[in-house]
Structure formats: structure tokens, C-alpha cells
Structure 1
Amino acid sequence: MELSGFSEEQLAVRDAITKICSDFPDEYWAKHDESGEYPHGLHAALARDGWIGIALPEELGGAGLGISEATMMLHTISESGGGIAGAQSIHANVYATQPVAKFASAEQRQRWLPELIRGERRVCFGVTEPNTGLETLKLQTTAKKDGDSYSVTGQKIWISSAQVATNMILLARTTPLDQVKKPSEGLSLFFIPLDKSQPGLEMTKIKKMGGRAIDANQIFFDNYRIPADSLIGEEGQGFKIVLHGMNAERCLLAGEALGLGYAALQKAATYSRNRVVFGRPIGQNQSIQHPLASAYMHLEAAKLATYHAARLYDRSKEDKSITAKAVGVAANSAKYLAAEAAFTACERAVMTHGGMGYAQEFHVERYLRECFVPRIAPVSREMIMSFVAEKVLDLPRSY
């Protein structure tokens, strides 16, 4: 990857994270992908050096940096060979805590975030449901106030790291949909304990194609009691609050996709320089060179889009001329472009290796399995295109 144009802070993050990740090579990730064991070692190493709180306030123990630097951190973890699995081990702890840092009370922030930054807490993000999918405004999980607690009933799906999380940032309905004036009202955000020993909570793992070191789960709530003071901000305003973290997540996931693509491309280039067929390295053949060169250029273009979006996100906090629409379009575009560029790089890396690309020992098959994640989540390619068509091209809304 070309490094010119990055800030001193971003390059310092890249150097520091590269050093940490050197203790967790491809073989570490292949082993954990095979066994499904969570990468506790990487999480502990990042927590020990304070990186879990990279984008959280300094007064709480965080680094006080921006999403630009956090994107570089997750990009670097992914590029080290950790891929999407490595990055996802701390993904939610970076982006899902942004609304907490902004909208929680001072007492709540002090109670929750320092322990998270130190690695003593871990969070997962509970939004997606099996019957609503991307229709977030129609979520069916309910949280009903009952004295000094809420009773949560419903189901969430594709919740990553729930098996190891101590807490969940939960979006749930506190007012029935037919009783609100606007669809965006009636949802509330909570920072809840995730205590499997308590009644009303059940988790089941989802067997999945890639990134198997990070558990994905279905979670069932049945009158699960949570403290009333786990509510973040005002009741009924949770959707507006959670939007604050969504553009950040798109930037972070774009960085993760880029890292995976660059890692795959490097494997392909190394193999094609060393693999000799018919008396010459296969990398001398244009049929190998051109697809890899094209993949590189697409990654570089997506890189520019990604860090432009992250920069807009950070600057929008101070520069009011940067609109929410501009940040949303940039972040969604970056996620789309990086995911597509990563897919191309990973697919071509496998094909460059030929039959050995199908072998686990060369790691590119693992990269290919993981590169579908940023194409699917947290929002599909098609939804992004519809969003851009509406917001930029002023076309009629299609969803």
C-alpha cells in the first residue's frame, strides 16, 4: 500500500499496531479459524497498550484520536493476516461505543468506558433481528419499563462476540410502532449486562463460512431484566443516537476490507515471483500481472475514498459545513468500494496460486471466505446503491 498522504498520527498507529500484530501471524489466525477459538491474545495485547479506546476520550483513559486513526488500526490488523476475524475481535468496541461516549451521562461514561478501554469489559452490538433485517425502524424486540428495571423480550441475530461480551449495546422498542408519530421514534438504546446466568437470556452460535474465530449468535430475550439506568439518552430517541455510530462503522469496515485485499495481493505477488512454470516465474506473464495490477489500483482508489470518508466524519464534529448527508454518502461509498476491491483482490489471489490457492496453508482461501463479510454487512451493496441514487442523484426512494 502507498503510504504517502497519511498523517503522522495515522502512520504512528500503523507502526504500533504492526508491532503488536507481529506476534499473531497468519498461522495463528489459521489455527483459530480452524478451531473457532476466540483470539483472546490479540484483544489482551491491544487492551494492554490502550488501543481499545483509540477513539474514546482521554479523560476516560482513551487515546482521544479519531475514526481516521481507528480505521488505520483495523486496516492494519486485517492486513497483518488477521483479516476480518482479527479486526472484528475489537470492531464493536470501537464503533458501537461512539454513541455511548457522546450521549451517555457523565456518570454512565465513567462507570462503563474505562473498564472497556482496559479490556475488563467487552461489548457486542444488538440491533439486527431475523424478521426485520435492514428495516431497523420496524424492530420488534421490546423493552418495557417496570419500576427500576426494564423487561426485554425479543430476538437478535448475527451478534458477533456475544459469547465473550460482558455487555451489549441494545436497540429495543420502548413504544409500539403504531403509537409513534414518526417511524424513527419509539426505539431506545441501552448499555445492558449480558449475564447468561440470569433467567430470560439464551444464546446459540451460528455456524458460518468464514471468520470462525469470532462467534456469531442468535440471542433470545424472554422477560430479561435490565437496570433502568442502562438507558442511554432519552427514551424513544435511540435510533437517532445509534445513527452516530453507523457511519463510523462503515469507515472501519472499509478499512478492514482494504487490509484483507492488500494482504491477499501481497501473497499473490510473492507467489507469482517465486513460482516457476515452463522455465520462468509466472509473474512474468501478463495474464498474471494485469489482473493483479488492476486489483492494486482498485484498492488504492478505495483507500482514498475510505480515508476521505473517515476524515469527513472526524472533521464534521467541528466543521458545520460538512453535512450529515455528505458524511453518509462518503462512508457508504467507501464501504462499497473497499468491499468490492477486496473481493477482487482475494479472488485473484486464489486464482494466481492455482491449485494451491485452494489449500489452507497459503491462507488466501481464508481471505476469500472472509471478504464476503464487508460486501454483505452491515448493509448490502444494493442498499448502498439505492441510498446514493436517492441522496446524490435525487432519484425516487426505492425502499
Structure 2
Amino acid sequence: MILSNEHTMIRDALRTFSRERLAPNAARWDQEHHFPQQELKELAALGAFGVAVPEELGGAGLDYVALALVLEEIAAGDGGISTIISVNNCPVCSIAMMYANDAQKQQWLRPLAQGDMLGAFCLTEPHTGSDASALRTSAVRDGDSYVINGVKQFITSGKHADVAIVLAVTDKAAGKKGISAFWVPTATPGYIVAGLEQKMGQHSSDTAQILLENCRIPAANLIGAEGQGYKIALSGLEGGRIGIASQAVGMARAAYEAALLYARERESFGKPIFEHQAVQFRLADMATQIEAARQLIQHAASMKDAGLPCLKEAAMAKLFASEMAERVCSDAIQVHGGYGYVSDFPVERIYRDVRVCQIYEGTSDIQKILIARALSTGP
């Protein structure tokens, strides 16, 4: 895909920011488990919090191709920050654009898109991962309120978010059609950060277990209508998978660039190791895989921008990009030899950061199921 001048300018602006403000600090943030509040404010000023949200609602007024470019560039600097930004854009802002009423858009979407608030998406539960229809969290109507009880697991920005979209069961007997979605301000009594996960990577992004204990919210915080929650949750996944795939490409590219630089500088047998054909072939394969993944992503994003269904294409992009990224990061470690296995060089951290891309927003196996299902019903 040939980028427009506008897309190229956006990519270049985020690339400069990422190289100057994120990459130099990523190792320290990883070691300190630091949440980069200041850098997030700066990204908000660049329009990264609501890339595809219309300008009249506080966003950048761009599209999903632009969002893919933004997330790739941020991820090349720091994987954890790209996850924070990805979740805020999609599913949080994308769900608000599609299903929030006008009052909710002013109350929640506008500050989320402007970066004045940070959003979280509370779907996954301790006993419910990819099967979103098996939720146990309940929301009971009580006058002009709903009272929510349950536990949510692996919630990105669960500690630092200002508001969360929470999926809960409002009618047990209705199955998938008994799930509803709600805006839950995290300052609400009963919204409890029960714990933070000790993760393999992405330490600049918090991942929390959230306990909802008699959490009372106004009935006006219902998103859409009762029973629409499952549909609402799924609606954010196309864009979310495009976003995760873009993150994977960004991290893979950062590892590849580090390996290429190392290969040009490291000498073996009297010459740079880049001059050894085995290393050249490895780097050539890495570059090719990254570009192939990027094209899949941009194809899916352009379909979404055109208003076309892209569930299959988004799943393909997410599947290929996330698995490609682990291979490329592993190859980058291999190019570095023993130095790739220690924290003095960035590829060790990037490998840890990228591994989760095969898990969140639907595992690789789930993507294959979605793709196969689409193949069975289409041409």
C-alpha cells in the first residue's frame, strides 16, 4: 500500500517522537515497572489517544490506516506504551463512537480521545478468556442504578485508567443476549484494584485484576441497550486486532533494526558479521516478514476505513504479525549471539514484550478458528 502524504507525515512525526522520547527510556521503564505518565500526555497532544475519532468529538479525525501507523511507531519505541494507547483507541473509543449516546460521548468519549482521561476494557475474567459468552460478573438494576459484582482479569490500565467499559450479565437466562456494557468510573466505590500482574514483559503498562464489589453506577451509564453487550464487545475486536498486529510489527521492526546495526558493527573473522551470507539471509528473511505483515495490516485497515467487513482480514493480520514478530525477535537475539540474551542490549526486552501479542485480543488459535469459519461461509 502506498501511503498518502498525510499518512506519511503522521508516521514520521510519531517515529521521531518514539526515537527521541520512548526508546531511550524503555530499558529503565522495564526495570522500574514505571508508568510513563508524562510521555502519555505528550502522545495525547499528538492526537494518539483518539486517532480515528472525529475532530468534533475530540479526536484526531483520521482513520484506521493512521492508527496502525501510530501504533507501529509507538511500539517500536516501547511495547507497553503501545498497548496502553491501543486499548484506549480500540476497543474503548471505537465502542464509544458506535454505541454511546450523545451525552455519553460528551462525558466519556471526548476526554478519552483528547487524552484527558485514560480508558480500560473489562471483559476477561479469571475463568473466562476467549469465551466472552461465559461471563460471571453480574449487573443488577436497582432503581436508577446498576449494582455490579464480579472479578475481571488481565485488565490493561486497570490501575491507572479513569474509566472502564465493563461487560456484565444482566439476564442469566438469555445467554449471550443477557450481557450488557457499562461505563464505570474507576473512582466509583467498589471498583477495587485487587492486584497487579507480575508479567514477562511490557512492564511500562499495568495489567490488573479488578474486583467489582457492590459497585453502584447510574443507570444512565448503560452503553446501548440491555443485552447488547456481547455485540458491543465483538464490535471492538476488528480494530483491536489491527492494533495488536501493528504493535507486533513495531516491536519486530525495532528488534530487526537493532540486529542490523549490530551486524554492521560486530566483527568476526576480520570483517563485520553482516558480510557473512548466513547473517545476510537471516536479516533478509526478517525484513521480508515484517513487510508482509505490514501489508496485511494496511489491507485490513483500509477495508475497515471503507466500511467493509474485515473480521477475517483482521484475524489474518493479527495471527501472522504476532507469530512473525516472535520469530523475528528470536532471530534478532540470534544475530546478537550471547549479547542478545542479556539486558545490556534491547532485543532481550523486546522479545519479552512481543510474546503477549499472540495471546491478547484473542489467541493465535482463536484467530485460526475465525479465519476457518470465514472460509467455510465465503468464497
Superposed counterparts of 1:73-152, under 5 Å: 73-79=70-76, 81-82=77-78, 84-95=79-90, 96-152=92-148
Superposition pairs for residues 229-378 of structure 1, below 5 Å?
Answer: 229-316=220-307, 322=308, 324=309, 327-378=310-361
**Are the counterparts in 2 of residues 20 and 45 from structure 1 also a CA contact under 8 Å?**
no
- The reply to whether residue 44 of structure 1 matches residue 41 of structure 2 is yes
Instruction: Give the fraction of aligned pairs with identical amino acids, expressed as a percent.
Output: 34
Q: Distance in 1 between matches of 2:350 and 2:16?
A: 21
Question: Distance between the aligned counterparts of 1:388 and 1:343, measured in 2?
Answer: 21
Instruction: Work out which of the residue numbers 183, 187, 207 in structure 2 matches 1:191.
Output: 183
1:201 touches 1:224 (CA, 8 Å); kept in 2?
A: no
Query: Judging changes above 3 Å, is the alpha-carbon distance between structure 1 residues 331 and 199 closer, same or farther for their aligned structure 2 residues?
Result: closer
4+ runs of 1 displaced by more than 6 Å?
none
Checking the alignment, whether the CA contact within 8 Å between 2:152 and 2:210 is kept in structure 1 is yes
Q: State the match for 1:387 in structure 2.
A: 370
The amino acid of 1:367's aligned partner reads: I
CA distance in structure 2 between the aligned counterparts of 1:88 and 1:232, rounded to whole angstroms: 24
> Is the alpha carbon distance of 1:374 and 1:199 closer, same or farther for their aligned partners in structure 2, counting shifts above 3 Å?
closer
Q: How far apart are the structure 1 equivalents of 2:286 and 2:45?
A: 36
CA distance in 2, matches of 1:42, 1:109: 25
Provide the rounded CA distance (Å) in 2 between the counterparts of 1:290 and 1:202: 48
8 Å Cα contact 2:193/2:208 also seen in 1: no
The CA deviation at 1:25 is 4.0
Contact 1:98 1:245 in 2 (8 A): yes
Change (3 A) 1:47 1:25: closer
Name the Cα RMSD after superposition: 1.5
- Give, in whole Å, the separation in 1 of the partners of 2:372 and 2:49: 36
1:347-383 Cα offsets, whole Å, 9 max, x none, are 0101100111112121000010011111111211111
Rounded Cα–Cα distance in structure 2 between residues aligned with 1:133 and 1:89: 19
1-side partners of 2:198 and 2:93: how far apart? 27
Larger helix fraction of residues? 2
For 1:371, what is the secondary structure of its paired residue?
Answer: helix
**Matches of 2:97 and 2:370 in 1, distance apart?**
27
Unaligned runs of 5+ in 2: none
Q: Which runs of 5+ in 1 are unaligned?
A: 317-321
- Letter matched to residue 94 of structure 1: N
Alpha-carbon separation, structure 2, partners of 1:264 and 1:143 = 44
Tell me whether 146-155 or 117-126 shows the greater mean CA deviation: 117-126
Aligned to 1:173: 169
Distance apart, 1:49 and its partner CA = 3.1
Q: Which amino acid aligns with 2:244?
A: L
* In the alignment, structure 1 residue 154 sits paired with structure 2 residue 150: yes
The match for 1:319 is none
The Cα of 1:302 is off from its aligned counterpart by 1.1
1:30 corresponds to 2:22:
no
CA 1:150/1:351 → structure 2, altered by over 3 Å: closer, same or farther? same
Counterpart Cα distance in 1 of 2:191 and 2:186? 11
> Are 2:195 and 2:208, in contact at CA under 8 Å, matched by a contact in 1?
yes
Q: TM-score, normalised by structure 2?
A: 0.96
How far the C-alpha of 1:100 sits from its partner, in A, is 0.7
The worse-fitting range, judged by mean Cα deviation, of 261-270 and 183-192 is: 183-192
Q: CA separation in 2, counterparts of 1:31 and 1:115?
A: 29
Instruction: Report the alpha carbon displacement of residue 86 of structure 1 after superposing the two structures with TM.
Output: 2.1
Contact 2:249 2:325 in 1 (8 A): yes
Residue by residue over 1:264-301, the C-alpha shift from the partner in whole angstroms, topping out at 9 and shown as x without a partner, is: 11110110111001111111112211122112111111
User: How many residues were matched structurally?
Assistant: 377
Amino acid at match of 1:184: K
Q: TM-score, normalised by structure 1?
A: 0.91
Letter in 2 for 1:192: V
**Which residue in the other structure is 1:204 paired with?**
195
| CA offset digits 1:48-89 (Å, max 9, x no partner) | 23331211121112122111111110111112x21x212012
Return the alpha-carbon distance in structure 1 between the equivalents of residues 292 and 75 of structure 2.
Answer: 18
